[in-house]
Amino acid sequence: MTRPASHVRPARSASALRVRALGVGALAVRALRVLDLPVRALLGALLAGLSLAGCAQPDPTHSAPAACGSAAPNAVPVDAALRNGRADPEPHRVEIPVNSPVLLGVTSDVAAEVHVHGYDLVYPVRPGSPACVLFVAGRTGVFDVEAHPEILLLQLEVR
C-alpha cells in the first residue's frame, strides 16, 4: 500500500505518454464505433426518457469549465464539476482511447474527495482550488469518477 501524496500520479513512462499512431485496427474500431454510437445514444435517450419524463440528455456541448490549464497538450482533457451536491453537467460517459493520457479536472463548491475507479486515484478538491490529475488510461473498461460519498460525476469509457 504505497500512498502517493501528490495530486498527480506520475505517468507510467514517457513512451506511454506519446499518443499512439492510429493503426489499421484502430481505424476499424473507430469505423465500428461510428455505426455503434447513434444506436447507443438512441437507446440511452429512450432509457432516460423512460426513467423520468422530461429529463434531458446531458448536453455534450455544455461541459464544465476547463479546470486545468493546457499543461499537457497531448492529454485528453476531461472536466467535471460538483455543484449543490450534483454533477454539472449531468453524469455522462466520456470515451477515451486506451493508453492515451487523460487530464482530469474537477471543480467543486464543497470540499470533497474525487475517486477515479479502476485506476484507484483518490485526491481532494476544495472550493476555489480545482483538482487536476494526469494519468495514462492504460486499462480498458468503464470506470466511475465519483465525488465521495457516492456522487457520480462521469464515467470514463476506455477502449
Partner 1 sequence: MQAGSLGEADATGVLAHGVGSSADLPLPLDLVLQAGAATVVLSFLVSALWWREPRLVAAEPRPPRASRWVRFAVLALALYLVGNAFLGPRGPENPAAHAVFVWLWVGLIPLSVVFGPVWRTINPLRTLYALLRGLLGTRLFGGRRLPAGGLRPLPPGSSAGTWPAAAYLLGFVWFELAAPHHGDPVAVGVFLLGYAGTQLAFATVRGEEWFARGDCFEVYSELAGRLSPLQPSPVQPSSVQPSSVQPSPARFGPARFGAVRWLRPLSGLAAPLPAGAGVAAFLAIWWGSTVFDSASASPFWAGFVQRAGLPVLWATAGLVGFCALVFAAVRWTAGRLDVTASLIPIAVGYTLAHYLSLLLVEGPRGVLLLLQQWGIGAGARWDVVPVPEVIAGAQIALILIGHVLGVVIAHDRALAADPGRPPLAVLADELPMVLFMIACTWAGLFLLFVR
Q: Which of 22, 32, 71, 111 binds partner 1 (CB under 8 A)?
A: 32
Cis peptide before 89 (omega within 30 of 0): yes
At 78, which amino acid appears? V
Residue whose C-alpha is closest to residue 101's, from 74, 121, 79: 74
Place of cell 495514462: 136
Exposure of 151 in the CB half-sphere (CA atoms within 13 A): 21
Window of 4-12, 20-28, 61-69, 71-79 that interacts with partner 1 by CB under 8 A? 4-12
Shortest reach from residue 115's CB to partner 1, in Å: 6
Window of 12-20, 63-71, 72-80, 115-123 that interacts with partner 1 by CB under 8 A? 115-123
Give the helix, strand, coil percentages of the chain, each rounded to 5.
Answer: 20, 35, 45
Give me the 63-82 binding string for partner 1, x by CB under 8 A, dash otherwise. --------------------
Shortest reach from residue 151's CB to partner 1, in Å: 7
Q: Verify binding: residue 139, partner 1, rule CB under 8 A.
A: yes
Contact call for residues 44 and 68 (beta carbons, < 8 A): no
Q: Verify binding: residue 61, partner 1, rule CB under 8 A.
A: no
Question: Looking at beta carbons only, is 79 or 146 nearer to partner 1?
Answer: 146
Angle at 125 between CA 55 and CA 72, to 5 degrees: 90
C-alpha cell at 68: 486545468
Q: Which residues bind partner 1 (CB under 8 A)?
A: 1-5, 9, 32, 35-36, 39-40, 43-44, 47-48, 51-52, 55, 58, 85-87, 90-93, 113, 115, 117-118, 120-124, 139-144, 146, 148-152, 154-155, 157, 159
